[in-house]
Amino acid sequence: MSTQRLNAISQSSQRKPSITVEEIRRSELFGSQVFNEDRMTQYLTRDALESVKNAIFTGSKINRKMADQIAESMKSWALSMGATHYTHWFQPLTGATAEKHDAFFDLLPNGRAIEKFGGSQLVQQEPDASSFPSGGIRNTFEARGYTAWDPTSPAFIYGATLCIPTVFVSYTGEALDNKVPLLRALHAVDEAATKVARYFDKTVNKVNATLGWEQEYFLIDKSLANSRPDLVLSGRTLVGQAAAKGQQLDDHYFGVIPLRAINYMKDLEVECTKLGIPVKTRHNEVAPNQFELAPVFEEANLAVDHNLLLMDVMEKVADKHDLKVLFHEKPFAGINGSGKHNNWSLATDTGVNLLSPGSTPMKNLQFLTFFVNTIKAVDSYEELLRASIASASNDHRLGANEAPPAIFSIFIGKQLSEVLDELEGVSQGKLSPEEKTELKLNVVGKIPEILLDNTDRNRTSPFAFTGNKFEMRGVGSKSNCAKPMTVLNTIVAKQLINFKIEVDALIAKKSLKKDEAIFNVLREYIKSSKRIRFDGDGYSESWWKEAAKRKLSNNKNTPEALQVLTSKHTLELFQEMQVMSETEVRARQEVELETYILQTQIEGRVFNELVNTHIIPAAIKYQNAVIENIKGIKEVYGAGFKKQAVAQLAILEDISGHLEATRKKSDAMTEARKKANAEPDVYKKAMAYCHDVRPYFDDIRYHCDKLEQLVEDQSWPLAKYRELLFIR
């Protein structure tokens, strides 16, 4: 057997169920490595604490004197915890996180060493920004980018390093990361939602967007994963015949978690708990070796940071357990891919979930207001939301059988639909006392009961209301939630601003009462956003046809989906909400297109390598063995040998056929890549990769998988699906 595959199999089969983790009470560990409010209270002067709290609550700046004090305290705490280095931890547009470690250590002029970390190091750092993608914002002569502390996300110690969550901006102030636009969007939705929430409760001073993500992933034995060049370089298997057993028995989902996996999870959870990531749920997912982890929801910016940190911790802990985590959205063909549902809501500083109904008619009207406005926002910007989850890897999943379609629609369930249908009948202008009573008691008043029994969930919907939150399901398992969260919060902010203007106008000009005005505006929104509501099967072909009639976008691939970023509608939105300037949006679009091109290009190259140096040689070797066999038969039987070698000759022909096709297609793909590479325009190049290069992948794969079925198992060089997915 090919040595690499053989070694991997033998190593993976000999693994002992890894390190057992001692069960420690989670509440004692929680946040022990975080410079959180408790630590700050302990380490900061009262003034410094006030200034951090103000910065968190109102976004106010922290002055230099305070920054020095905070840095000094942070350093004392970090040193006491054994940290030796600090880093500004940020989210460049590559999608991952980046860090540059500096030692606390510094030299005095007299040559003696001290531990140094002052306000200037806390507040600002200047990484060599020219190596991060910027979409042309930074010219090479002005390659400066700055990272600056984001006090809304607490510093933490990871390894022996104090990590300071930061934003990353250019010298001229443009966002070079995913965090800046998110923070701006969260600010916008806070302002807009607070004003609307005050219709219902004057004491509300702040509204936070909340996010609870659900991270899906695969766990594969490290040696097996590393034996596959495609998994190592592109994160997914480019070839591989489905195992005889897949997920058809439905025996993995919520089943008993395999021992190695559960040990990994326990270890992981302890690490997460120390880092203040509130992990809560773990279970098997649908596909073999697929799992899910979900936390308690948090304020969106913190939740995004925690998800990014989690992905990093997951990889490190996996390594310790001789496992490899796969975050790719579709690492294996023929079985489910992975996603990262984003559960989202809005919460007031008074502790109220605005998407949760309450005990009084006013609270229910408040629920309805935020509920309908979210629907209206999604209806107005469905294509932009789709763009926010577009990536080369997620293209394999969106629209595939187990994932939401590339068409955005909202599922709210039968009973809430009925409530909205009734509200469509609300009278124009003033409402009679009878109508008001009827509405409050029998329409809006019924909502809490309805939600108690909101069981008819539709798993095929990309955007579903699930009782007290919306759940965005198309987000890719690999992606940074900051992107969809930026869009969702921006569009809801914009919508709530419009809503407030319209309600105030009805109150002022038509002298309607507040609740009458609200009912009037909501009625019109319900009518005008009907097309986005769909409770049926999102996977069905009839829905695609229906969605086309409703003029909902259906962008099946990333280059096409990204076009909407620079439409007039989008540019105006981001500018008006002060989330991104036109330059920033254009830069982002360019970076995303380039990332798409690069990822597809890498896959193409890996494919060539697999075909030419693994698969074709294996097939030829086996072909030779068959030829030798046929020669022997001929020697024995002479002219009549063919009758005795029917099977061998057929096998030989099959192999030759698939060999030829594999080689031809892979050469044609190389040609297509060369042509695409010559294209100077980034959009056209991405389209060429999408339409001219990518389609060859399936073709080549088909023939390779056929060869895998023909060639003697012993001689096949690549770890097979049954090994990757079933050796535990």
The residue ranges that bind ligand ADP (CB under 6 A) are: 210-212, 214, 281, 294-297, 341, 343-345, 353, 468-469, 471
Q: What CA–CA distances, in Å, run from 631 to 380, 604, 625, 635?
A: 71, 38, 10, 6
The DSSP string of 236-274 is S-SS-PPPSS-STT--STT-PPPHHHHHHHHHHHHHHHH
Q: Which is nearer to ligand ADP, 330 or 469 (CB)?
A: 469
Best CA proximity match to 526, nearest among 451, 444, 452, 449: 444
Q: Which residue is nearest to Mg ion (CB)?
A: 341
| 297 interacts with, out of ligand ADP, Mg ion, none, CB within 5 to 8 A per kind | ligand ADP
| 612 interacts with, out of Mg ion, ligand ADP, none, CB within 5 to 8 A per kind | none
Going by the DSSP 8-state scheme, the letter that residue 715 receives in this structure is: G
Neighbours of 482 (CB within 10 A): 27
Neighbours of 698 (CB within 10 A): 10
Q: How far is the CB of 424 from ligand ADP (least distance, A)?
A: 27
Q: What does the alpha-carbon distance between residue 723 and residue 725 come to, in Å, rounded to a whole number?
A: 6
| 175 interacts with, out of ligand ADP, Mg ion, none, CB within 5 to 8 A per kind | none
Q: Contact 102/78 with Cβ under 8 angstroms?
A: no
Q: How far is the CB of 31 from ligand ADP (least distance, A)?
A: 17
Q: How far is the CB of 11 from ligand ADP (least distance, A)?
A: 34
Q: Which is nearer to Mg ion, 268 or 464 (CB)?
A: 464
State the sign of the Cα–Cα–Cα–Cα dihedral 344, 348, 352, 356.
Answer: negative
Helical H runs in 445-567?
447-452, 482-509, 514-528, 541-549, 558-562
Q: What does the alpha-carbon distance between residue 246 and residue 721 come to, in Å, rounded to a whole number?
A: 9
State the sign of the Cα–Cα–Cα–Cα dihedral 181, 186, 187, 193.
Answer: positive
Q: How far is the CB of 186 from Mg ion (least distance, A)?
A: 22
Q: How far is the CB of 212 from ligand ADP (least distance, A)?
A: 3
Q: What is the separation of C-alpha 603 from the centre of its chain, rounded to a whole number of angstroms?
A: 21
Helix (H) or strand (E) run with residue 167 in it: strand 161-170
| 468 interacts with, out of Mg ion, ligand ADP, none, CB within 5 to 8 A per kind | ligand ADP
Helix (H, G, I), strand (E, B) or coil at 137: coil
Q: Contact 294/175 with Cβ under 8 angstroms?
A: no
Q: How far is the CB of 292 from ligand ADP (least distance, A)?
A: 7
Q: How far is the CB of 214 from ligand ADP (least distance, A)?
A: 5
Q: Contact 346/370 with Cβ under 8 angstroms?
A: yes
| 294 interacts with, out of Mg ion, ligand ADP, none, CB within 5 to 8 A per kind | ligand ADP
Task: Say how many residues make up the chain.
Answer: 728
Q: Which is nearer to ligand ADP, 255 or 695 (CB)?
A: 255
| 344 interacts with, out of ligand ADP, Mg ion, none, CB within 5 to 8 A per kind | ligand ADP
| 211 interacts with, out of Mg ion, ligand ADP, none, CB within 5 to 8 A per kind | ligand ADP
Going by the DSSP 8-state scheme, the letter that residue 235 receives in this structure is: S
Residues 171-230, interacting with Mg ion (CB under 5 A): 214
Q: What CA–CA distances, in Å, run from 597 to 405, 497, 609, 632, 684?
A: 23, 38, 18, 51, 10
Show the tokens assigned to 286: 């649908």
Q: Which is nearer to ligand ADP, 483 or 703 (CB)?
A: 483
| 417 interacts with, out of ligand ADP, Mg ion, none, CB within 5 to 8 A per kind | none
Q: Which is nearer to ligand ADP, 465 or 696 (CB)?
A: 465
Q: How far is the CB of 299 from Mg ion (least distance, A)?
A: 19
Q: Which is nearer to ligand ADP, 345 or 388 (CB)?
A: 345
Q: Contact 290/344 with Cβ under 8 angstroms?
A: no
Q: Which is nearer to ligand ADP, 210 or 364 (CB)?
A: 210
Q: How far is the CB of 346 from ligand ADP (least distance, A)?
A: 8
Q: Which is nearer to ligand ADP, 297 or 332 (CB)?
A: 297
Neighbours of 501 (CB within 10 A): 10
| 62 interacts with, out of ligand ADP, Mg ion, none, CB within 5 to 8 A per kind | none
Q: Which is nearer to ligand ADP, 122 or 294 (CB)?
A: 294
Q: How far is the CB of 366 from Mg ion (least distance, A)?
A: 25
Q: Which is nearer to ligand ADP, 39 or 306 (CB)?
A: 306
**Which one of the spans 157-165, 334-342, 530-538, 615-623 is the region binding Mg ion (CB under 5 A)?**
334-342
Q: Which is nearer to Mg ion, 214 or 395 (CB)?
A: 214
Q: How far is the CB of 350 from ligand ADP (least distance, A)?
A: 15
Among 179, 236, 324, 341, binds Mg ion (CB under 5 A): 341
Number of residues that bind Mg ion (CB under 5 A): 2
| Interaction pattern, residues 543-562, with Mg ion; x per rule: CB under 5 A | --------------------
Q: How far is the CB of 99 from ligand ADP (least distance, A)?
A: 26
Q: What does the alpha-carbon distance between residue 429 and residue 655 come to, in Å, rounded to a whole number?
A: 77
**Which one of the spans 133-141, 267-275, 338-346, 431-439 is the region binding Mg ion (CB under 5 A)?**
338-346
Q: Contact 204/348 with Cβ under 8 angstroms?
A: yes
Helix (H) or strand (E) run with residue 200 in it: none
| 296 interacts with, out of ligand ADP, Mg ion, none, CB within 5 to 8 A per kind | ligand ADP
Show the tokens assigned to 183: 């923070």
Q: How far is the CB of 211 from ligand ADP (least distance, A)?
A: 6
- Cα angle, residue 606 at apex, residues 605 and 610 outer, rounded to 5°: 120
469 scored as a contact of Mg ion (CB under 5 A): no
Binding site residues, Mg ion, CB under 5 A: 214, 341
